[in-house]
Structure formats: structure tokens, C-alpha cells
Amino acid sequence: MTIRLGCIADDFTGATDLAGLLARSGLPVSLRIGTPEDATDLAPFEVIALKIRTNPVEDAVAQALQALNWLRAGGATQIFWKYCSTFDSTAEGNIGPVAEALMEALGTDQTIYCPAFPENGRSIFMGNLFVGEDPLAESPMKDHPLTPMRDSNLMRLLTPQVTKPVGLANRLTVAAGPQALRDRLADLKAQGVAHVVTDAVANDDLHIIAEACREMPLLTGGSAVAMPLPALFQQDGTLQNAAPFEAPDIDDTPVILSGSCSSMTNAQVAAFKGKKHRLDPLDIAENGSQAAIDWLHQQPTNTPKLLYATADPASVKAAQAKLGTAQAGALIEDTLATLAQEALKTGHRRFVVAGGETSGAVTQALNVSRLAIGPEIAPGVPWTFATSAGHPIALALKSGNFGAETFFHDALEAL
Ligand code: ADP
């Protein structure tokens, strides 16, 4: 199998989101945590999750090029550069420099920028990005701790990040259909415009953009504009005999590990009806995690069980004040990672993990570096399949606010 579309994502949950949308096609999608060393089990859609959103530019570019080399060695001739649908980047910004480096390596002189995700309220009109009904710079993103977004205009955000001219294919062009968009891109190319911000306010726009740009060597955007690509490739006959993905049969009731303290995860923990055990960072700091390990071992194997550090903001603040923010976080992440290892040792093969950082800690503890993407439990959260210590396992990795209140039960039902 060779890679039909190679994807490079600037963070882990963004990679999961993209992989989940591509997997809606039913075709095999594989997510790699970091650029692998070998090239086994290639899928037609390969997504490499990097962690470069806020890295220094040079480092981000070097890591993206390393990922590109691996994807090309696996046969990829077309690359998708995935960043956040709110265009998260620092003032020095990695989105433009990575795109320019990929363009140069691929020998192409034009790409599009389309972070729109209408289903999630991200739309672009006249080059301005909206979050719901608010311009980006008036949305909560203006106060993000690492990447505060203080301008809503994508051309203005991108221009200082690149060396070549930036232009716009606006909604009027996109709405006129794929040929109109192709013509506009050709006009811009003739004027030397390398970076084209592309408006999209509705799902139909994304289909038009994907159709017009499906042969571009490099596409860039949020996850949504990639969603129509698998079906287009099938129509084009460029997906050589890719059989549908078949989820392995993993017969187990899940262990649920929750380290997210988002308001949605708090609601999900409260709504969970099975056996639960709370992890208190202050208690663990004093007495270690043995009590939690013992609790896990005492539970019957065939009932779903939840171990959670999830707490309301006041309790989190109290723990952070006593232990330090980083230390409290690391303590909980280590405990949940150990619990995952213990559960694996005692025969557990299904895990639900809540929290982005927590998911990173658990996948690392289980030594997982490749995930095959299965059916979605909630938008952006698929069941995934991996191997840990020689055992096939299933993992659902949920970042903070994803999923409905019934998420943990939904995960059981999606089996
Ligand atoms: P999210 O996806 O919701 O942001 P993360 O797992 O990325 O979740 O981040 C949550 C962080 O909070 C983790 O580092 C976790 O260890 C830490 N944490 C979890 N529970 C508590 C708690 N009760 N007190 C302090 N920190 C906590």
C-alpha cells in the first residue's frame, strides 16, 4: 500500500480531528504520533501528529520537513498541512513558514489556506475568520494563553509569516463553483500570488474548494476542507484498491481515565453511572497512588469503571496552590499513566481517556505510536486501535470539551 494523502498536523488533537474526518469515508486512516522511523502498515491516509504549534520557527520547519520526507518515502505525492481552525499561531507564527518550506520541497508555487469548519462554527468571509458569530479577534481566542489571536483577517495574519505574496479567493468566487475557483487561482498565480486565503462559510463551499484543489501538491487548512477528499480520490480512481477499514474485535469493557477538568468533562463524569473512583492530587502527593491501583484491581473486569481527577475550578486551584500548577498536573498525568499500565497488565484492552495532555501521557505510557482510526463516538472523537506490549488494544482519546454529557456511555455503545 502506498500513501495517497500525507498529512502533517501541528498538534495531537488536531491530528485526531483530521484523522477522524478522513475516516468518515470508511477507508483506512492511520495516525502516527511523531514521525516514525520505519514504514510498516502504511494506510492510504497517513496523518503525522507533531507538536510544533508554538515551537520556534526553525524547529517547526525542520520537524515538518522530516515528516514530509517520511510521507514521500511512503509514496505520498500530495500533502495536507493541518493547523487549528482558529489559525492559532504566535506572532512569529509557524503556519506560513512551514507552508513555504513544504511548497519548496514539493516544487509547487501555490497553495490555499482554508481553516474553515462550518459544522463547528468556524467560517471565513472576505478573508476574515469568524468563531460562531464573532470575528476571531473578538472571540475567546483573543485571550488564549499561548496564541492570543488579535486580528481576524487571515491575509494580515499570514503576510508577515511568508516571503511571497498573499491573496484571496473570496466567497463570491467559491460560490460560483469549482471552475470559477480554478480560474481565480490561475489568475492569482499569474500575478505571482503563492498563498491564497480561501473563503468558506458552509459545507458546500468546502466541497467546491476540495473539488477545485484536489490535485494541488500542497493543501493547507483546518480539518474540514480535507473531508471531501477521500470520496473525490475514489471518483478519480487514484486510490488503488483500498479496502474499507475493518475494526479489530476487541472484547472488553473499558477502563475510563479522566484527567480533563473542562466543564464538559466535569458534566460527563457526573453523568457516568458505573463504578467510579476519584483521584485527589493532594492525597496522592502525600500517600502515592497505591489506593487507586488497589481500587482498580478490586473491580470486576466486566464492568465499566472510571478513575478521575476531574474536578471543579475551585478544587483545581486549591491543588495547584498547594503543589504548583505543573506539579499537580504531572502528578495526575503520571498516576493515570500508571493506572493504564496496570489495567493493561491485568488484561484490559479498552481505554477511554479524557484530556489532551492526559491522552499524551497515557499513549506514551502504553508505548503507542500508531493508531488506526475507527468509528466516531462523537464528532472529532473516534475509537482508535493500536498495539501495546504485543496486545491489540482500543483507545478513545477525548480532548477537553469534546463529546456530549453522555460521552462515556456513548463510547460503550459505539463498540
Ligand atoms: P483538557 O483536554 O481538558 O485541556 P488535559 O489533560 O489536556 O485536559 O489537561 C488537564 C491537566 O490538568 C492535566 O495536566 C491534568 O493532570 C491536570 N489535572 C487534572 N486533574 C487535576 C486536579 N484535580 N488538580 C490539578 N490539576 C489537575
What pLDDT, in 10s, does the model give residues 358-374? 999 999 999 999 999 99
Query: Is there an atom of ligand 1 within 6 Å of 403 CB?
Result: no
Query: Is there an atom of ligand 1 within 6 Å of 316 CB?
Result: yes
CA–centroid distance, residue 319 to ligand 1 (Å): 11
DSSP summary character for residue 138:
G
| Cα-only R_g, the chain | 22
The predicted model gives 123-146 an average pLDDT of 91
Query: Is there an atom of ligand 1 within 6 Å of 355 CB?
Result: yes
CA–centroid distance, residue 386 to ligand 1 (Å): 24
More confident of the two residues 169 and 378: 169
**Contact at 8 Å (CB) between 136 and 129?**
yes
Q: Which atom of ligand 1 is found nearest the CA of 265?
A: 3
**Contact at 8 Å (CB) between 166 and 159?**
yes
CA–centroid distance, residue 196 to ligand 1 (Å): 38
The predicted model gives 192-207 an average pLDDT of 98
DSSP summary character for residue 253:
P
CA–centroid distance, residue 140 to ligand 1 (Å): 20
The predicted model gives 184-189 an average pLDDT of 98
For residue 256, pLDDT beyond 80? yes
Query: Is there an atom of ligand 1 within 6 Å of 170 CB?
Result: no
Listed residue (283, 305, 281) closest to 295, CA to CA: 305
Query: Is there an atom of ligand 1 within 6 Å of 329 CB?
Result: yes
DSSP summary character for residue 254:
P
CA dist., res. 221 & res. 229, Å (int): 13
- Confidence (pLDDT) at 40: 85
The predicted model gives 149-157 an average pLDDT of 95
CA–centroid distance, residue 259 to ligand 1 (Å): 5
Query: Is there an atom of ligand 1 within 6 Å of 309 CB?
Result: yes
Listed residue (122, 22, 17) closest to 379, CA to CA: 17
Query: Is there an atom of ligand 1 within 6 Å of 327 CB?
Result: no
For residue 400, pLDDT beyond 90? no
SS3 state at 361: helix
Mean of all residue pLDDT scores within the chain: 94
Atom 27 (ligand 1): residue with closest C-alpha? 329
For residue 323, pLDDT beyond 80? yes
- Confidence (pLDDT) at 356: 86
For residue 305, pLDDT beyond 90? yes
For residue 95, the tally of other CB atoms under 10 A from its CB is 26
Identify the H or E element spanning 181.
helix 178-190
SS3 state at 215: coil
